[in-house]
Amino acid sequence: MLRFAVLGAGAGGQSMAAILSEQGYPVKLYDIDREKIAALKSMKTITVSGKIEACGTPDLITDQLEEAVTDVDIIMVVTTTDAHAQLARDCAPYLHDGELFILTPGHCGGALEVAGILRGENGCGKDILIAETGDLLYACRCYEVGKPLHTGLKSSVKLSAFPASDTSRVMDVLGPVFPMLRAVDSVLETGFEGGGAMLHPLPTVMNINKMDLGEPYDYYMEGITPHVAEIIEACDKERVAVCRALGLDVLPEAEALVKMYKLEPKDSFYDLIQSIEPYKGLKNPTSTKHRFLVEDTMNGLVPLASVGKALGVKTPIMDAFITLASIICGRDFASDGRTAEKLGFAGKTAAEIREMVK
């Protein structure tokens, strides 16, 4: 029986721990948030409702990383992606040969970043399988600890290992457990084709006045107005251009959403967003530390723009939002984020990058 560690007790991590536990898998759930862990410990059982229903009791709920990752076969990382690097460093002493280290999702370059840490000169020295998904496995949110709500079903979520030659080994293990997973050619496809960098930092920046005033709003339904939708579409053209420079046959975000949620195409991106049922009712970010602003800029916009620059693709809209987000958050995301240099892409041609990830 496979033994799992689920790192991150947000909506996705709580859901994963509950679903795996209900299916009979030994599961340890970890989070750095001691208050949340204490609440989950007192509840013991996590109840998933909505489009997916499950009740599961993890074998261990802890804020101690060593307890969580010792004696497990698979580590499922369901944290915000800006935590990946430090988690990899912290997990390294406890890893063993043949273990799976899966980022769900990896965002742009997650598996590359983690591989550089675990397989680098000062890495763990173990034969670890490293992979990432292109998105969170579940369409869910959590307004009450221990009770995640699933608002939709994801029928297809991309997965690739780094290197891609390991993908079939990972799918042999995870495919039967997570039927929505679909193997793709490389981590370029899982990382650079995702639309989070379009749908999260841009609307958050455009609605920053509402955050300052403490005004609540429905994030997608009210936060993405017709003109905001036009800005997102224009920025998405830059993302598509970067992906195509990498040799990826990527879909524009509108077409990707139609495919993901099995929707009817609409005349405008705004109308399409308004038609996505799982997007309705999502609460707005209330802090400049929110993942929509921080991680999706650092690990979404920054790598896309940085790799674009390395390949001669201009990304003025992305550059503008990186600058605005940096001002709002008081940090330099262009330096802090996953740059082409940090991903090992600097000085490489697109062909050399594709060869690197095989």
Active site residue ranges: 200, 296
Give the span between the Cα atoms of 289 and 297, in whole angstroms.
11
Q: Give, in order, the Cα–Cα distances in Å from 190 to each of 88, 160, 240.
A: 19, 7, 14
Length of the chain: 358
What's the angle, vertex CA 92, arms to CA 142 and CA 72, rounded to 5? 60
**Contact, 20 vs 56, CB < 8 A?**
yes
DSSP-assigned letters across all residues of 112-146? HHHHHHHSSTTS--S--EEEEESS-SSEEE-SSTT
Give the span between the Cα atoms of 94 and 68, in whole angstroms.
10
* Cis preceding linkage at 201, omega within 30: no
Partnered with residue 131 across adjacent β-strands are 102, 161
